[in-house]
Structure 1
């Protein structure tokens, strides 16, 4: 990297923003995937049955796990550049 601290900080911020954007895209993709898996006819019923509730719960829990993993990864990256 450059010896210029301002340039290094800018490059780090650019990389962090790129990571955040990728994360947002992944959340969107996972949300669509949960919808596709749990609602096969693309319309939620007026009342959720237990199978659909379980499906959504499991899917959301996996999304939370993925989110936590990504946040920890981004925090480690930030610490590495400070």
Structure 2
């Protein structure tokens, strides 16, 4: 069984990494949906965006980037800095 332990550990590490990637992807989709809902209240973008809509999208994207960076840092700390 000693020979299987490194394989099991590698498998578990890969499984954890894949789970984290899936959580990250899910969070990005959630944030994208929220930005859409906030910035386009009727679910259809106008033919020409006004300044208010452009600012809304820009702010939302910036917050998404901030959230993404935070999640990457958090996952990196959970993995002992190996991300």
Shift of 1:18: 0.4
For structure 1, the residue ranges without an aligned partner over 5 or more in a row are: none
Q: Which residue number corresponds to residue 77 of structure 2? A: 76
Please tell me the root mean square deviation across aligned C-alpha atoms, in Å: 1.8
For normalisation by structure 1, the TM-score amounts to 0.85
For structure 2, the residue ranges without an aligned partner over 5 or more in a row are: none
Q: In the comparison of the two structures, how many residue pairs are matched?
A: 79
Distance 1:79 1:9 in 2: 15
For normalisation by structure 2, the TM-score amounts to 0.84
Distance 1:55 1:68 in 2: 20
Deviations 1:1-40 (A, max 9, x none): xx81221111011011001101101100110110000001
Larger relative contact order, structure 1 or 2 (CA cutoff 8 Å, min sep 6) = 1
Shift of 1:76: 2.5
Structure 1 stretches of at least 4 aligned residues deviating more than 4 Å after TM superposition: none
